[in-house]
Amino acid sequence: MDTAVKLNVDAPPMEERAFQQISGHRALDFLATLRDRHRVPVECLREPADLDRWLALAGFDLAVGSRPRDMRDAHDLREAINAVTRAVLAGAEPPAAALAALNRWAGEPPLAPQLGRGLDRRWSGARPVHAALAVIAREAVELLAGPERALIRECAAAPDCSRLYVDRSRGRRRRWCQMETCGSRAKMAAYRQRRSS
C-alpha cells in the first residue's frame, strides 16, 4: 500500500456500497474502492479476495485470482487515475508522476479474448489480473481524452461522499452518485432543516 493517506481502519467496511458499479464508467467505479477520500479514507481493497470480487463485479470473469503483488498494482493504478481525474475536475494540470503511472499501465498488455473449442470465451495471458488493470487504465485514458471527460462529476454529497461519475442524464442534471443513498439522505436533511427553521 503506497498511498500516503492515513487509513481509517475502524470505519465499517461498507464494501458493498464501495463495490457498486454506479459511476457509469469502470475506471470511476474503481476509484470508489477507496472511499471517504475527503475525510479519513477507507481502503476497501484490502486483500486479494477483495480485488477478485471487485473485478468480477466489474465484468472481468478471470479464471485466475489476484496475488498479493496485484494489490500494490491495483492501488498504484487506482491512485494514479484518481490524481489525474481530480486534477482534470479542478481544471489543473495532471500531476506528472500520476500521468506517467497511468500511461505506463495503459501501455501494458491488456486481456485478449480467445475462443475455446466449446465456443466459450477465455482470457489469454499469464497474468490476467495485471492485464485487467491494463484494460482499466486504457479505459481511463479513453475517458479522459474523450468527450465524456466534460461529464465527469463528483457526488453533490461531498465531502460525505467522494464518488465520481459520468453524468449522462438528460439535461445533465444528475447530482448524486446514487439517488437511493446520497440523494435521499440530502433530501431528508433539507426537509429536517426546513421543519426546524
The binding site for Zn ion (CB under 5 A) comprises 155, 157, 161, 163, 177, 182
Contact at 8 Å (CB) between 182 and 156?
A: yes
CA 146 to chain centre: 18
Decide whether 130 or 163 has the Cβ nearer to Zn ion: 163
Please confirm whether the linkage preceding 109 is cis (ω < 30° from 0): no
Give whole-number Cα distances, 97 to 33, 93, 100, 101, 133, in Å: 21, 12, 5, 6, 18
**Which of 135, 118, 115, 127 has its CA nearest to residue 25?**
135
Give least dist CB 154 to Zn ion, A: 8
Decide whether 163 or 174 has the Cβ nearer to Zn ion: 163
Cα 70 to Cα 126: distance, rounded to the nearest angstrom: 13
Give least dist CB 147 to Zn ion, A: 24
Decide whether 59 or 159 has the Cβ nearer to Zn ion: 159
Decide whether 28 or 157 has the Cβ nearer to Zn ion: 157
Decide whether 24 or 125 has the Cβ nearer to Zn ion: 24
Cα 19 to Cα 57: distance, rounded to the nearest angstrom: 8
Give least dist CB 164 to Zn ion, A: 9
Give least dist CB 45 to Zn ion, A: 19
Give least dist CB 47 to Zn ion, A: 25
Report residue 183 as a C-alpha cell.
440523494
Residue 83's identity, in one-letter code, is A
Residue 4's identity, in one-letter code, is A
